């Protein structure tokens, strides 16, 4: 019996961008601060309009289709980002692949949903209610707002997920679909806006008001589309789910005649596995981005080693080295009887010429293998490079990006006559300052209980607040001073003024 789950992700496009900013949790600056509402825009005709919102923007009264200029006027702190339909479709497909843990029949429901046929699968999770509870809890931990509807037809599940009250409305097996769908609005039939508006003009506001009506008059006025949607919702007409095909994993397997416990023996087995894996990767013109080594012990427990690569690779020596450095940390127990090496994440990798004797252009060094080894030893979040950001505020002028990301050159946004300190604090720290006059450089400041009497000072360099970042930036100004104390230490101080409030002083960096 078909049992369809329709997962509704009302803010998927915006929440996808929020999740991307968490890939490097210490990134500076945060492009999408969580306290500010977010909307995605696209050009529709000659005007730019909102196509997706997050929950904060929706609560402020904004809606899809609103002109972007009007939305900014109504909500000055609104963040606007360009919509990327292709990237959103790929992200939804990856989420559908993730949902294969619940059912082998899963399909994306663009632009903001998933479809799962859990017939025969619910008992593996303790029943349908437990399955829905686990599904929604996992999506919530991912940072995605989700609602799920469950019924015996795709149309009914889709309607429940989007229009029925509650986080997981469900029609029990054998129950009447018409009874549960009757109170839902006519928009739940998945009709276009024109037909839905025409139904409301004729007095049809709920789906139940259409049940039992003569079909011929409805077909003459609204066309066969209305009758088809009614039959699909009630389960009279079949509406199959076209499932995605899970990506085939590239893996190699090696079983041992006798259990292995020594790291040296496992290293020899790893060499053989890596050779076979790279041959299969080469046949598909792909390279590994993530490797998983699974070692099955005699007690059937599994030890796992995983490494990520900065760039696709299928060089056996490099893959063996990354995993071999960590083999010594494996507890083999009574011995390992089977080893499996998987390329769980791959990317296209075509053959390329590494060196040539023609021409004089020097070959650029490839840092990918060095980065892979550093990430394996220090952790992926600790290896990064900085990229410039168009901002006058020093703490916003750079951000962390993956180490091999291509950077675009940007012109400097500050006068070159004003140097920047060698060490910049992540967040300015308040200090107590004594100055001859409010507009003069400081004569003395106290930081962390230590007094620093100023001998020389240069400044100010004025930086104004970026009003487009939010209301708090309006009327903000900073006056930066380079100062040197009696011991020769040099600091970077600034005086912050905000409207009529008294000025405050902060320490922001140190010069070498």
Instruction: Dump pLDDT digits (tens) for 203-262.
Output: 999 999 999 889 899 999 988 999 999 999 999 998 889 999 877 789 999 999 888 888
The strand pairing partners of 304, in sequence order, are 294
pLDDT score for 395: 85
CA 250 to chain centre: 25
DSSP output for 366-420: --HHHHHHHHHHH-GGG--EEEE-S-SSGGGSEEEE-TT--------SS-TTS--
The answer to whether residue 165 scores a pLDDT higher than 70 is yes
Beta carbons within 10 angstroms of residue 307's beta carbon: 20
Q: Starting from the edge strand earliest in sequence, which strands make up the sheet with 38-44, in order? A: 47-53, 38-44, 79-82
Give Cβ neighbours of residue 322 (< 8 Å, ≥ 6 apart).
291, 307, 309, 372, 373, 376
Q: 313-358 pLDDT, tens per residue?
A: 999 999 998 888 888 788 888 889 999 999 988 888 877 655 555 5
Residue 31: which pLDDT band, with cuts at 50, 70 and 90?
Answer: low
pLDDT score for 488: 92
Residue 415: which pLDDT band, with cuts at 50, 70 and 90?
Answer: low
pLDDT score for 91: 93
In this predicted structure, which of 208-217, 302-311, 393-402, 415-424 has the lowest mean pLDDT? 415-424
pLDDT score for 489: 93
The answer to whether residue 264 scores a pLDDT higher than 80 is yes
Residue 392: which pLDDT band, with cuts at 50, 70 and 90?
Answer: confident
More confident of the two residues 342 and 378:
342
Q: 45-66 pLDDT, tens per residue?
A: 889 999 999 999 999 999 999 9
Give Cβ neighbours of residue 183 (< 8 Å, ≥ 6 apart).
206, 207, 208
> Which whole-number Å values give the CA distances from 358 to 351, 352, 353, in the listed order?
19, 15, 12
More confident of the two residues 396 and 455:
455
pLDDT score for 12: 94
Tokens 């559908």: give the residue: 96
What is the distance between the alpha carbons of residues 105 and 96, in angstroms, rounded to a whole number?
A: 10
More confident of the two residues 26 and 364:
364
The answer to whether residue 466 scores a pLDDT higher than 80 is yes
More confident of the two residues 33 and 151:
151
pLDDT score for 76: 86
Residues in the chain: 512
The mean pLDDT of the chain is 87
Q: 266-279 pLDDT, tens per residue?
A: 889 999 999 999 99
What is the distance between the alpha carbons of residues 245 and 247, in angstroms, rounded to a whole number?
A: 6
Strands 286-297 and 336-348: antiparallel
- Specify whether the CB–CB gap between 185 and 205 falls below 8 A: yes
Listed residue (360, 374, 363) closest to 404, CA to CA? 374
Listed residue (459, 460, 453) closest to 489, CA to CA? 453
What is the distance between the alpha carbons of residues 181 and 163, in angstroms, rounded to a whole number?
A: 10
* 65 burial type by CB count under 10 A (0-12 exposed, 13-18 middle, 19+ buried): exposed
The answer to whether residue 2 scores a pLDDT higher than 90 is no
In this predicted structure, which of 8-12, 172-176, 368-372, 505-509 has the lowest mean pLDDT? 368-372
What is the distance between the alpha carbons of residues 428 and 90, in angstroms, rounded to a whole number?
A: 40
Residue 29: which pLDDT band, with cuts at 50, 70 and 90?
Answer: very low
pLDDT score for 416: 59
pLDDT score for 436: 83
* Averaged pLDDT for residues 382-400: 82
pLDDT score for 379: 76
């Amino acid at each position: 019996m078909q049992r369809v789950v329709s997962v509704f992700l009302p803010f998927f496009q915006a929440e996808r961008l929020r999740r991307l900013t968490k890939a490097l949790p210490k990134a500076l600056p945060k492009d999408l601060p969580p306290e500010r509402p977010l909307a995605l825009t696209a050009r529709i005709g000659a005007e730019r309009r909102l196509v997706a919102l997050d929950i904060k923007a929706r609560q402020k009264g904004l809606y899809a289709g609103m002109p972007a200029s009007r939305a900014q006027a109504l909500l000055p702190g609104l963040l606007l980002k360009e919509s990327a339909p292709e990237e959103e479709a790929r992200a939804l497909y990856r989420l559908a692949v993730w949902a294969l843990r619940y059912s082998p029949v899963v399909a994306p429901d663009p632009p903001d949903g998933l479809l799962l046929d859990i017939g025969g699968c619910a008992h593996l999770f303790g029943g349908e209610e437990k399955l829905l509870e686990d599904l929604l809890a996992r999506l919530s931990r991912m940072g995605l707002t989700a609602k799920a509807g469950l019924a015996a037809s795709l149309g009914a599940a889709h309607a429940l997920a989007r229009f029925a009250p509650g986080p997981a409305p469900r029609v029990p097996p054998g129950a009447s679909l018409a009874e549960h769908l009757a109170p839902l609005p006519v928009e739940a039939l998945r009709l276009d806006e024109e037909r839905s508006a025409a139904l409301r003009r004729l007095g049809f506001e709920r789906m139940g008001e259409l049940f039992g009506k003569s079909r011929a008059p409805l077909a003459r006025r609204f066309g066969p589309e209305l009758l088809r949607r009614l039959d699909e919702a009630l389960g009279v007409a079949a509406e199959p789910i076209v499932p995605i095909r899970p990506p085939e994993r590239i893996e190699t397997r090696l079983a041992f005649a006798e259990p292995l416990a020594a790291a040296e023996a496992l290293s020899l087995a790893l060499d053989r596995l890596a050779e076979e894996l790279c041959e299969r990767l080469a046949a598909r013109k792909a390279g590994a981005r993530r490797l998983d080594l699974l070692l099955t012990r005699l007690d059937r427990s599994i030890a796992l080693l995983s490494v990520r690569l900065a760039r696709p690779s299928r060089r056996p020596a490099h893959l063996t080295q990354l995993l071999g450095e960590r083999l010594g940390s494996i507890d083999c127990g009574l011995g390992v009887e089977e080893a499996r090496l998987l390329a769980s994440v791959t990317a296209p990798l075509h053959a390329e010429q590494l060196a040539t004797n023609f021409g004089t252009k020097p070959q650029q060094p490839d840092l990918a293998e060095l980065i892979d080894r550093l990430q394996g030893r220090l952790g992926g979040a600790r290896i990064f490079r900085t990229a410039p950001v168009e901002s006058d505020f020093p703490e916003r002028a750079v951000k962390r990006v993956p180490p091999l990301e291509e950077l675009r050159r940007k012109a400097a946004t500050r006068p070159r006559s004003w140097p920047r300190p060698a060490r910049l604090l992540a967040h300015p720290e308040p200090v107590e300052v004594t100055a001859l006059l409010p507009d003069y450089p400081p004569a003395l400041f106290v930081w962390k209980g230590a007094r620093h009497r100023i001998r020389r000072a240069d400044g100010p360099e004025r930086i104004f607040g970026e009003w487009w970042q939010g209301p708090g930036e309006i009327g903000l100004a900073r006056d930066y001073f380079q100062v040197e104390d009696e011991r020769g230490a040099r600091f970077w101080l600034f005086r912050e003024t905000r409207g009529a409030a008294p000025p405050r002083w902060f320490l922001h960096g140190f010069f070498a």
